[in-house]
Amino acid sequence: MHELDAHDDEFEIQLIDGFEDCLLGCIYEEDGSPVPCYSSASVLSKLKARGMTEDEAVAELNALTAGVTMLWVHPLEIA
């Protein structure tokens, strides 16, 4: 886990190491603190490419993000 300064050093944003390419952007809470938004499909795909099953990837994802304030962006399927 690493942190980047945001908004002129007022707030810090926690990012998941090794998944920078899955980061879509961030939203801002009412107090201005940034919350990173990751692509759930990209993160799971990256973990499965490392040889993990779907269940193992989900378990690893939960372990990596325990205690981290963040949002997942999920693919939208329109019928």
Examine residue 29 and state whether it is found in any structural domain, yes or no: yes
Binning pLDDT at 50, 70 and 90, where does residue 76 land? confident
- What is the reported pLDDT for 27? 94
Examine residue 53 and state whether it is found in any structural domain, yes or no: yes
Residue 3 pLDDT greater than 60, yes or no: no
**d(C-alpha 49, C-alpha 43), whole Å:** 10
Examine residue 78 and state whether it is found in any structural domain, yes or no: no
Residue 2 pLDDT greater than 70, yes or no: no
- The 10s digit of each residue's pLDDT in 6-57 is 445 567 888 888 999 999 999 999 988 899 999 999 999 999 999 999 999 9
Examine residue 57 and state whether it is found in any structural domain, yes or no: yes
The two tokens of residue 63 are 């372990």
Examine residue 32 and state whether it is found in any structural domain, yes or no: yes
Its domain, for residue 28, covers 2-73
Examine residue 79 and state whether it is found in any structural domain, yes or no: no
In the chain, the number of structural domains is 1
Examine residue 69 and state whether it is found in any structural domain, yes or no: yes
- What is the reported pLDDT for 17? 87
**With contact defined as beta carbons under 8 Å apart, do 44 and 64 qualify?**
no
Examine residue 30 and state whether it is found in any structural domain, yes or no: yes
